Every structure is written in structure tokens, then in C-alpha cells.
Amino acid sequence: MPTPPAFPLTVFYDGACSVCAAEMAVYRRKNHGGRLVFVDISDPAFDPSPWGITLEAFMAQMHAIDRDGRAYRGVEGFWAIWQAFPASTFYGLLGTLVMLPGFNLLARLGYRGFARIRRYLPKRASRCDGGTCRMDRH
């Protein structure tokens, strides 16, 4: 089992991916006690260099980096996110289950498959960060 994350945990996700953005929106709405910070790597202003990870590596799989600089990738990244929620919640339970040997293997295979097809999934039609969208008059 990986070392539990030191919060806050910075979660890097592809906001242009509709599935990825929807999943992160769920985590944002849940009470995580401010332990999660979300960074959209599809934002043109995103600079990966301070993290020592290439944009291609960030795009290849989900990353989460804790306060101490530990990186969690793919399924471990989701495990780290789920540690931000109480053990008695659905996500807390997933955090326990995903590290069990059989479940972990299935999760890794499922995530690997998703990561391969993610680029072919529909992209978000518009970006409405902050809950409001700019409307064009024309």
C-alpha cells in the first residue's frame, strides 16, 4: 500500500476531457475539508515545469502530488484522492477496496484501458470555470 498523502493534495486532470472534468466536479462538490486542490492541465496557462513532469506525462495518466512532493499516478492517484474523504463514505470505502489485490488488478486494467481511449472521448464543448459562462452576443 502506498504512503498516505500529506494534504493538501494537488490533483492534476484534463479539463478538456468530459469524463475527467465530470469526475473532478463530483469530488469538488463533496466535502473533502479543503484537502484537495484541482489543477486543469488543459488550461493554456498550465506550466508543468515546476512539477518536473512533462505535459505529455500529465496527459498520459492522472496525477496527484501531495504537500511533501509525493506523486501518485493512475489508480494510486484516485486512491490518494479518496483518502481525503472519511472512511465511512462511499469514496472512503473505495479507497480501501482499490488496494485489495484482486480489486487493485481490475482497477489498474480498467484505468489502463480508459487511459488509452480517453483521447477519443468527446471533449467539453465549452469551458465554464467558476460556474459562469461568457455568452457571445453574435
Would you say residue 130 lies in a domain? Answer: no
Would you say residue 128 lies in a domain? Answer: no
Q: What pLDDT is recorded for position 120? A: 85
Would you say residue 32 lies in a domain? Answer: yes
Tens digit of each residue's pLDDT (9 = 90 or more) over 83-124: 999 989 999 999 999 999 999 999 999 999 998 998 888 777
Torsion of CA 29, 31, 35, 38, to 10 degrees: 0
Q: What pLDDT is recorded for position 1? A: 79
Share of residues in the chain with pLDDT > 70 (%): 89
Mean pLDDT of the 14-20 span: 93
Would you say residue 44 lies in a domain? Answer: yes
* Dihedral of alpha carbons 109, 67, 96, 102, sign: positive
Q: How many domains does the chain have?
A: 1
Helix residue ranges, H only, 64-100: 75-82, 90-97
Tens digit of each residue's pLDDT (9 = 90 or more) over 70-80: 999 999 999 99
| Structural domain harbouring 95 | 9-123
Would you say residue 45 lies in a domain? Answer: yes
Would you say residue 114 lies in a domain? Answer: yes
Would you say residue 131 lies in a domain? Answer: no
Would you say residue 70 lies in a domain? Answer: yes
